[in-house]
A = this chain, B = another copy of it.
Amino acid sequence: MSPALRDGLRVWMTQLQRPSLLKSLAGETQTRPPVWFMRQAGRYLPEYRALRATAPDFIAFCLDPEKAAEATLQPMRRLPFSASIVFADILLIPRALGQEVWFETGEGPRLGPIPSVEDLTAHIDQAPIALAAVGETLKRVRAALEPDRALIGFAGAPWTVLTYMLEGGSSDRSQARSLAYSEPDRIDALIDVLVQATAKYLIMQVEAGAQALQLFESWAEGLAEPLFERLVIGPHKKLIGLLRDAGVTVPVIGFPRGAGALVEDYAAAVPVQGVALDTQVPLAVGRRIQGLGRAIQGTLDPLLLRAGGPALDRRVDELLEAWGQGPYIFNLGHGILPDTPIDHVERVLARVTGAV
């Protein structure tokens, strides 16, 4: 075989194996969009529940590369997801910055008192080292995963992580929003620490094999426009700037959950390649965001996935029809619910991938 032919074949093979998730994030419209589900590695899978039972402490589970890689891969073995997202938790960052974090069974996260800005700042450079286990998980998953299936890294966005750090994990975020008004300098300084630490953490994830990144702003809900600009749009822009300055070229998906009508401002202002849309975003808004040159991801209601039936089929078809005309990644608008029947998931995946 001539060197030229060999090179040509290599390019062709690479293109053939290029994950569909990355094609959508590069702005390509595909006949069949890629599909993955938030919390696809999770309690709706019996094999996940069995694995989780072997590690009572949730943080230790996240930081055990063998178990975390296994959890990440479980849904990929059973179901035709186009992409995999590393099993981890958004509260690993405050832990790496020196704040105590633990999980009460059945009650969710609990956090100790928030350290001072100075104490947190002193931990920034250490954070990626403290989270090296997540990098090891990514390496193991990337080695095991087929080349045409993408591996996604992620982090909680600064404001969302800060709400947990300020409130200890148990409230409606109104305390954190109040502090944003009453102690603006302190809150902005804390956000800035998180921007820096999260950038370093995500750079480490890309070095370990993440091919795309998702930024989970799970608590954009209820932020008035001036706060949204200050606490979400500004920090996301700065964080992505730090990634690009460090030479990171992988695409970024921003997920401003509960941003309401502000999601369009987000899509216009933040240089992400994809915008994940929560359950409430209307079809027309999704199309407008595609028109801004962003891929969109979402928005199936996990409650409808759990309920199943003809209404679920109709909604899947409606999303494929309305959003499949542009760069699209099929997903839920929120994490899959633990009591979702697996056959509902199978049915949706078959419909999206065209197997039925």
**Which residues of chain B come closer than 8 Å to A282, judged between CB atoms?**
225, 261-262, 265
**Which residues of chain B come closer than 8 Å to A285, judged between CB atoms?**
261
Give 25 A-B contacts (CB < 8 Å), ordered by A residue. Answer: A177-B303, A181-B307, A184-B311, A221-B280, A222-B279, A222-B280, A223-B280, A224-B279, A224-B301, A224-B304, A225-B280, A226-B311, A226-B315, A227-B301, A258-B260, A259-B280, A260-B260, A260-B261, A260-B263, A260-B280, A260-B281, A261-B261, A261-B264, A261-B280, A262-B280
Q: How large is the interface on A (under 10, 10 to 19, 20 to 34, 35 or more residues)?
A: 35 or more
**Which residues of chain B come closer than 8 Å to A184, judged between CB atoms?**
311
Cα distance, A224 to B285, chains bound together (Å): 13
**Which residues of chain B come closer than 8 Å to A182, judged between CB atoms?**
307, 309
- Given contact pairs A260-B261, A261-B261, A283 touches B225 in the complex (Cβ within 8 A): yes
A122 to chain B, nearest CB (A): 30
Q: In the complex, which residue of chain B has the Cβ closest to the Cβ of A305?
A: B181
**Which residues of chain B come closer than 8 Å to A258, judged between CB atoms?**
260
A336 to chain B, nearest CB (A): 14
B311 touches A224 (CB 8 A): no
Cα distance, A39 to B174, chains bound together (Å): 18
Interface centre among A181, A228, A262 (most CB of B within 10 A): A181
Q: In the complex, which residue of chain B has the Cβ closest to the Cβ of A223?
A: B280
Cα distance, A304 to B226, chains bound together (Å): 11
- Select which of B228, B264, B333 is within 8 A of A224 by beta carbon: B333
A272 to chain B, nearest CB (A): 18
- Select which of B178, B224, B264 is within 8 A of A280 by beta carbon: B224
A299 CB-CB contact with B under 8 Å: yes
Top 6 A-B pairs ranked by shortest CB distance? A260-B260, A181-B307, A224-B301, A261-B261, A182-B307, A260-B280
A186 to chain B, nearest CB (A): 13
A203 to chain B, nearest CB (A): 32
Mark interface residues in A87-130 (1 if CB within 8 Å of B CB, else 0). Answer: 00000000000000000000000000000000000000000000
A306 CB-CB contact with B under 8 Å: yes
Q: In the complex, which residue of chain B has the Cβ closest to the Cβ of A262?
A: B282
**Which residues of chain B come closer than 8 Å to A263, judged between CB atoms?**
260-261
A252 to chain B, nearest CB (A): 22
Interface members, chain A 169-207 (any B CB < 8 Å): 174, 177-178, 181-182, 184
Mark interface residues in A262-291 (1 if CB within 8 Å of B CB, else 0). Answer: 111100000000000001111101000000
**Which residues of chain B come closer than 8 Å to A265, judged between CB atoms?**
282
A165 to chain B, nearest CB (A): 18
A15 to chain B, nearest CB (A): 36
17 more A-B contacts (CB under 8 A) besides A181-B311, A228-B280?
A178-B306, A181-B303, A181-B307, A222-B279, A224-B301, A224-B333, A225-B283, A227-B301, A259-B280, A260-B263, A260-B280, A261-B263, A261-B264, A261-B280, A261-B285, A262-B282, A265-B282
